[in-house]
Amino acid sequence: MLPPEHVLTRDLAAWLPRQRWFGGKDAPIEELSIAIATELRAGDPGLHHLVLDVRQNGASDRYQVLLGVRRDLPDRLRYARIGAPPDGGAKEQVYDAAHDPDLTRTLLEDLAAGASVGPLRFRHVPGARIRTDLTSLPITAEQSNTSLLFGDDYICKLFRRLSDGINLDLEVNLALTQAGCEHVPAVHGWIELEEADGAGGEPVTLGLLSDYLRTGADGWSLAIASVRDWFAHTTQPEEDEWAELDASAAGGDFAAEAERLGAATAQVHRALADAFGVTVVPADEIRAMAARMNAELTGTCRDVPGLAPHAKALTGAFIDLAAQAGPLAVQRVHGDYHLGQVLRSESGWTLLDFEGEPARTQRERRALSHPLRDVAGMLRSFEYAARFLITRSGTVPLESGGRLETRAHAWAARNRAAFCRGYAAAGGADPAAHAVLLRAFEFEKAVYEVRYEARNRPAWLPVPLKSLAHLTA
């Protein structure tokens, strides 16, 4: 049995801002209400699915919470408690049930059965046989969502902040799974919410169940290991200053993997084009895109003065794009492509998380674009990986340059070139033949990074600023 609604909403309003996935930490909660409550499992422990309306700064967002209810909360779950401990009386305790494997198995059971519970629909891919005997473990590193590992078989992503309609990650991964694309994890099922008003719109995606790549290592970790090895590499006394630029000399060279990643990216882009089609937009739309890029630059320079010294070069890239604008083929792309969105397993590279950039609107995330936008995102990620250790350790001040900065630039340049080489060889648009477009995309991404870091991770702000100093020189 749930606590009285006024007590539960009070406790949820105090608990939400402490969660890593809550997107409104920069403003107080003005109002919180329970829009939809669905009982998924009765008894003790009980499981309830809640959709919350959270009002901040005059606007509302929706979040989903799996709410567990127990009379006696075991020690292993006390960290997930919502609200104050009981005062000694007979009182149910509520908690985040995503951390309770006794309750999350209900999700697998309902997915396997294709169940409907109130407005919730549990769907599975035709022919999929979903195991229901697995124990879940939440991945603590997630920030904007919550993912549960079910044994070594599945990963279930729960979308905490809900968007209208079908989530892009489900839409794209399901299409690529059905097309037999080997570079995405196969989708087994999903959870959706049918709107109570019956307006006939798309259902809202709540969760996605797909293959778990247990042998996979994320691209960011592999790249950082390579940079660390390169930074630790010692040159011989007889070697000249050019030895500092030969990033292939270190034992952990990443270039071969970067080239394979480029090839996998091109193959996924071709699969996306086959699944969703390609549209040719006129030159006027490209000029309008360049104008939007420049407007975003102007606003970011106003908010982040450290970007201003690069503004002239950045504006020049956007002017060049507008001047050379012509009809351009656009399609579905990843939208937020970086080394943290790829896994290297024994079978090759796998692409993850097709939701788009978190700071963009749903309409912006769904917009078609040229595949080189993803290439630009990965090139930016190589810049981040190259300088991450310097920023974190403070070994060499970023503003003073130094040996490690020289090596960072060399590592980034080597792996950028390898990625582009692999992408072009596998049939992607040759980055060298589209230099103006790629440069504009990369500078647009850098401006986005500067704004994002200034707002969310100020300690990381020197990373995009320092890389811009090289790219705009």
For 120-181, give the DSSP string.
EEEEE-TT------PPEEE-TT-SSSEEEEETTTEEEEE-SEE-SSS-HHHHHHHHHHHTT-
Query: CA–CA separation, 11 vs 82, rounded Å?
Result: 6
Q: Which pLDDT score is estimated for 239?
A: 58
**What is the side-by-side strand order in the sheet with 348-351?**
217-218, 342-345, 348-351
pLDDT in tens, the chain (473 residues): 788 899 999 999 999 999 989 988 878 999 999 999 999 999 999 999 999 999 998 999 999 999 999 999 999 999 999 988 777 555 789 999 999 999 999 999 999 999 999 999 999 999 889 999 999 999 876 678 999 999 999 999 999 999 888 999 999 999 999 999 999 999 999 999 997 554 457 899 999 999 998 888 999 999 999 999 999 888 765 555 667 788 888 888 999 999 999 999 999 999 999 999 999 999 999 999 999 999 999 999 999 999 999 999 999 999 999 999 999 999 999 999 999 999 999 889 999 999 888 777 778 888 999 999 999 999 999 999 999 888 775 544 444 447 888 899 999 999 999 999 999 999 999 999 999 999 999 999 999 999 989 988 888 898 899 889 888 87
Cβ proximity of 62 and 162 under 8 Å: yes
Closest CA to 205 of 173, 229, 237: 173
Sign of CA dihedral 366, 165, 56, 341: negative
Collapsing DSSP to helix, strand or coil, 403 comes out as helix
Query: CA–CA separation, 380 vs 276, rounded Å?
Result: 26
Around Cβ 63, how many Cβ atoms within 10 Å? 22
Q: Would you give the DSSP letter of residue 83?
A: S
216-250 residues labelled b (16+ CB within 10 A) or e (exposed)? bebbbebbbebbebbbebeeeeeeeeeebeebeeb
Collapsing DSSP to helix, strand or coil, 204 comes out as strand
Closest CA to 456 of 294, 304, 232, 246: 304
Q: Would you give the DSSP letter of residue 28?
A: -
Q: Would you give the DSSP letter of residue 67?
A: E
Note the pTM of the prediction, 2 decimals. Answer: 0.86
Q: Which pLDDT score is estimated for 362?
A: 78
Q: Which pLDDT score is estimated for 88?
A: 59
Cis peptide, bond prior to residue 282, ω within 30 of zero:
no
